């Protein structure tokens, strides 16, 4: 039995989808454990190029079981569209949705957007997809779960009670129109007809496969630095995106995990507000953004750009218990004569070697850079470590030495073939 957890080591958008899709070839089960459609994976395989927001990336492989776990929150309309896309393109993997996963209701989306508008220039920068309000209802024990769709009479009572409070908030605090109870009720039966056959006891499925010694991949969403507890709070997501979230989000014991892989871009990006110590601007940032296509899969927003932050990477390695690192988008750095890596921080003239938890301190950080020679030679689609330039090899070796974790996989493009396996996982 092998259970590997794949997490994003930065602020999300690291290219986890491509890596999970690559590893899923040998996997029996791929399970998503947290987040909602505020995250997006783009995979490119023999069936085409797909942006998935909820369904695990293993759906492109024959014989895989793809689980959406209890730690997720699901917009039923988004999931239905995704399932239709999967069916249209004949993606072969099986799909199972946890009966314990919480639904994102129309009032969650409206509340999310209303609150962001209300905050004005102090907005957190959410995707406006209702993720935070759905998790808030889960914690306050007012949430609606996927399994509730099987009992419409009971579900309607829950929704009616919730709407009394939600509409009061929308109208009296945010000055927004109330949400129609009838409009929601009209959608429920359709949701169940299209999703009911997928709703399952996913804990049972995953533990049956553990007993059978199957190969299981646990798929993280977003990145460790967006974790609700350990990220750059308050500019974070609403769930645990670190590796520990895979245990609670799927109902697995800690001793079951064999290996944790962290995925990092060869540079850094961030979407939305929040401190970003190595952020760069102007022509340099625009060059990376355009070459790498750094625009949000979910929102389309241009991503903020920065050099690789090794201090943040070491922190991420600690809080996730990383055994192995994957570096993606190495090919984007082909276009630079000099490449910078942040190896230290300076705050108000004093050097520090740790990742601060205080948002004000983090926003005042001056990065200390080590500079490496570029390679001015294409690494795009290269599939062997022997085929890349000596300067590119040296860059990888230095990252590995600075972070202190082996770099086992390098991605040099979006396709499955553009992957260098340094060490077998």
Active site annotation includes 41? yes
Question: 248 and 123 share a domain?
Answer: no
Are the C-beta atoms of residues 202 and 97 closer than 8 Å to each other? yes
Question: 93 and 238 share a domain?
Answer: yes
Residues 6+ apart with CB under 8 A from 368: 342, 343, 344, 345, 346, 351
Q: What pLDDT score was predicted for residue 1? A: 67
Q: What is the DSSP letter of 178?
A: P
- Compute the distance between CA of residue 169 and CA of residue 171 in angstroms, rounded to an integer: 6
Question: 171 and 300 share a domain?
Answer: no
Q: How far is CA 419 from CA 8, 156, 387, in A?
A: 17, 49, 12
Residues 6+ apart with CB under 8 A from 402: 310, 313, 314, 341, 343
Are the C-beta atoms of residues 183 and 163 closer than 8 Å to each other? no
- Compute the distance between CA of residue 184 and CA of residue 157 in angstroms, rounded to an integer: 12
Question: 53 and 85 share a domain?
Answer: yes
User: Given phi > 0 = left and psi -120 to 50 = alpha, else beta, which region is 222?
Assistant: left
Residue 335 CB coordination number (10 Å):
13
Residues of the chain with pLDDT under 70: 1, 43, 45, 47, 297-299
pTM score: 0.93
Q: What pLDDT score was predicted for residue 297? A: 65
| Chain Cα centroid distance, residue 153 | 35
Residues 6+ apart with CB under 8 A from 422: 385, 406, 407, 408, 409, 410
Q: Which domain holds residue 329?
A: 264-421
Burial, 85: exposed, middle or buried (Cβ in 10 Å; 0-12, 13-18, 19+)? middle
What is the domain-level CATH number for residue 163? Answer: 1.10.300.10
Question: 286 and 217 share a domain?
Answer: no
Question: 117 and 226 share a domain?
Answer: no
Question: 203 and 335 share a domain?
Answer: no
What is the domain-level CATH number for residue 295? Answer: 3.90.170.10
Question: 93 and 230 share a domain?
Answer: yes
Q: How far is CA 315 from CA 57, 165, 233, 238, in A?
A: 27, 40, 15, 20
User: What phi and psi, each to the nearest 5 degrees, are found at residue 221?
Assistant: -120, 150
Question: 256 and 269 share a domain?
Answer: no
Q: What pLDDT score was predicted for residue 368? A: 98
What is the domain-level CATH number for residue 78? Answer: 3.40.440.10
Instruction: Say how many domains are in the chain.
Output: 3
Q: Which of 22, 41, 108, 230 is catalytic?
A: 41
Domain boundary residue, one of 260, 283, 306? 260
Question: 216 and 76 share a domain?
Answer: yes
Residues 6+ apart with CB under 8 A from 193: none
Are the C-beta atoms of residues 257 and 246 closer than 8 Å to each other? yes
Domain boundary residue, one of 147, 175, 195? 195
Q: How far is CA 338 from CA 265, 378, 392, in A?
A: 17, 15, 11
Are the C-beta atoms of residues 155 and 149 closer than 8 Å to each other? yes
Domain boundary residue, one of 159, 176, 195? 195
Q: Which of 13, 148, 309, 331 is catalytic?
A: 13
Question: 303 and 167 share a domain?
Answer: no
- Compute the distance between CA of residue 340 and CA of residue 370 in angstroms, rounded to an integer: 6
For 70, the 3-state DSSP assignment is coil
Q: What pLDDT score was predicted for residue 191? A: 98
Q: Which of 168, 211, 179, 27 is nearest to 109 (CA)?
A: 179
- Compute the distance between CA of residue 303 and CA of residue 119 in angstroms, rounded to an integer: 22
167-189 tens-digit pLDDT: 999 999 999 999 999 999 999 99
Question: 173 and 222 share a domain?
Answer: no
Residue 173 CB coordination number (10 Å):
12
Q: What pLDDT score was predicted for residue 57? A: 86
Q: How far is CA 260 from CA 12, 93, 324, in A?
A: 16, 23, 7
Q: What is the DSSP letter of 147?
A: G
- Compute the distance between CA of residue 4 and CA of residue 7 in angstroms, rounded to an integer: 10
- Compute the distance between CA of residue 166 and CA of residue 123 in angstroms, rounded to an integer: 20
């Amino acid at each position: 039995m092998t259970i590997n957890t794949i997490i994003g080591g930065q602020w999300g958008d690291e290219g986890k989808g491509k890596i999970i899709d690559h590893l899923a070839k040998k996997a029996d089960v791929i399970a998503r454990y947290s987040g909602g459609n505020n995250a997006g994976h783009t995979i490119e395989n023999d069936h085409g190029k797909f942006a998935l927001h909820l369904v695990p990336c293993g759906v492109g492989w024959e014989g895989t079981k793809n689980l959406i776990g209890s730690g997720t929150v699901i917009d039923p309309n988004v999931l239905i569209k995704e399932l239709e896309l999967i069916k249209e393109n004949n993606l072969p993997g099986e799909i199972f949705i946890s009966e314990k996963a919480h639904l994102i209701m129309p009032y969650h989306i409206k509340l999310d957007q209303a609150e962001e508008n209300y905050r004005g220039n102090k907005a957190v920068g959410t995707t406006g997809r209702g993720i935070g309000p759905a998790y808030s209802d889960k914690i306050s024990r007012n949430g609606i779960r996927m399994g509730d769709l099987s009992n419409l009479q009971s579900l309607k009572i829950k929704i009616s009670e919730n709407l009394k409070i939600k509409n009061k908030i929308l109208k009296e605090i945010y000055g927004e129109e109330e949400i129609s109870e009838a409009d929601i009720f009209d959608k429920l039966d359709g949701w169940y007809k299209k999703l009911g056959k997928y709703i399952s006891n996913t804990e049972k499925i995953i533990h049956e496969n553990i007993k059978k010694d199957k190969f299981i991949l646990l798929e993280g969403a977003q990145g460790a630095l967006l974790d609700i507890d350990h990220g750059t709070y308050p500019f974070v997501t609403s769930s645990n995106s670190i590796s520990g979230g895979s245990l609670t989000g799927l109902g697995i014991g800690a001793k079951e995990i064999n290996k944790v892989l962290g995925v990092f871009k060869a540079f850094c990006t961030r979407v939305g507000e929040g401190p970003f110590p190595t952020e760069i601007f102007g022509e340099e940032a625009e060059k990376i953004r355009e070459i790498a296509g750094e625009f949000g899969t979910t929102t389309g927003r241009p991503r903020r750009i920065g050099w690789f932050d090794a201090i943040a990477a070491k922190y991420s390695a600690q809080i996730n218990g990383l055994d192995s690192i994957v570096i993606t988008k190495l090919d984007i750095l082909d276009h630079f004569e000099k490449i910078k890596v942040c190896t230290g921080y300076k705050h108000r003239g004093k050097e520090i070697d740790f990742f601060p938890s205080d948002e004000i301190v983090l926003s005042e950080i001056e990065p200390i850079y080590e500079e490496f020679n570029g390679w001015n030679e294409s690494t795009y689609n290269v599939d062997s470590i022997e085929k890349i330039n000596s300067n590119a090899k040296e860059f990888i070796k230095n990252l590995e030495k600075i972070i202190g974790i082996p770099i086992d996989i390098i991605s040099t493009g979006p396709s499955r073939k553009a992957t260098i396996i340094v060490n077998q996982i």
